[in-house]
Amino acid sequence: MTRPGPQSASAASRAGSFPSSLAGAVDLAALKERAAQKASPTQQNSARPAPGDGPSLITDVTEQTFESEVIERSNRVLVVVDLWATWAEPCKELSPILEQLASEANGKWVLARIDVDANPRIAQAFGVQSVPTVVAIAGGQPVHAFAGMQSEPQIRQWLGELLKAVEGKLPGEARQDADAVAEPPRDPRIEAAEDALQNGDFAAAEAAYAQILNDEPRNTEAKAGANHARFLARVQNLSPEAAKIADTNPDDIDAQLDAADFEVVNREPEAAFGRLIGLIRSTAGDDRSRVRERLISLLDLFDPADPLVLAARRDLAAALY
């Protein structure tokens, strides 16, 4: 199983139908029948949320719960199936990325985790040849898949294209209200930091985000907020001649960093990324580290699936290695 490129999903969206890359390759109907025969009435009932329970964004699925958690649920929302194994090292990297993205999506799509060793019939039905294998299910049918490790930006782009392709085409979307995931309450610490940001107190905003990160180092919203606050603090006193100054002083690292900030403010991110990547190629040691850190901080201001960002990250890797 290989990962279809983003063009395939885009084409599907334009054509108004699901991609057919997996059509006929996965016998989900047979798997549904086996699950129904094997599960007792108690097991079948337990596969569904109890009255009043909201659906989970991340679910561990077995043969007994496959029909309810994957097939039926995919009529209302895109289900991404993570076929994994404890012995496969790439799974240890990929699964946490998928879980993080599923949590961030807040119900736009859901993640179904399946241990292939504990559920060999499911693995057989999907024709799994290696793990990890990730399959997207919509309307009870597989629509796209990839095998092996993928980076977070690649997966974000893949998911974005899939969501566009299936939008408005799921047969159970009219009944979505019953399974809607309630939006969680906003973190008051984040709200306080955002208020400081809106009021132009960038130092206070950064300090507030830093306090959150001190308690929760992996809080992605706080990381992004702190980076935004630092950027706004830097650019408020930039000279409008920053780019010209840098161009006449090519060896001045500070001038080059200011110019890149100015170009981002001036809606010229491609120029900023190119400037810093060129500087990385021509510097070494601490100077190179400073430039690399500034480039990463600027890239993090943008959607990770933006083609400009993806291209810049590839160019950065080439410049470093």
Mean pLDDT of the chain: 81
The pLDDT score that the predictor gives to residue 173 is 63
Q: How many CB atoms lie within 10 A of CB 15?
A: 10
The pLDDT score that the predictor gives to residue 41 is 36
Q: What is the pLDDT of residues 216-230, one digit of tens each?
A: 998 999 999 999 999
Model confidence pTM above 0.75: no
Question: What residue ranges define each of the domains in the chain, with the CATH number in brackets?
Answer: 55-166 (3.40.30.10), 188-320 (no CATH)
Q: How confident is the model at residue 253 (pLDDT cuts 50, 70, 90)?
A: very high
CA–CA separation, 306 and 156 (whole Å): 10
- Phi, psi angle pair for 298, to nearest 5°: -75, -40
The pLDDT score that the predictor gives to residue 182 is 56
Average pLDDT score over residue span 55-72: 89
- What is the CB-side half-sphere exposure of residue 138 using CA atoms within 13 A? 26
> Is 150's pLDDT higher than 70?
yes
The pLDDT score that the predictor gives to residue 29 is 52
Q: What is the pLDDT of residues 3-43, one digit of tens each?
A: 333 333 333 332 233 333 333 334 455 454 544 444 433 33
Q: What is the pLDDT of residues 103-136, one digit of tens each?
A: 999 899 999 999 999 999 998 888 888 999 999 9
- Cβ-based neighbours of 189, under 8 Å, separated by 6 or more: 208, 211, 212, 222
Tokens 């959607």 sit on residue: 303
> Is 310's pLDDT higher than 60?
yes
11-15, 137-141, 205-209 — which is least confidently predicted? 11-15
CA–CA separation, 138 and 163 (whole Å): 10
- Phi, psi angle pair for 83, to nearest 5°: -90, 115
Q: What is the pLDDT of residues 266-279, one digit of tens each?
A: 889 999 999 999 99
Average pLDDT score over residue span 160-188: 73
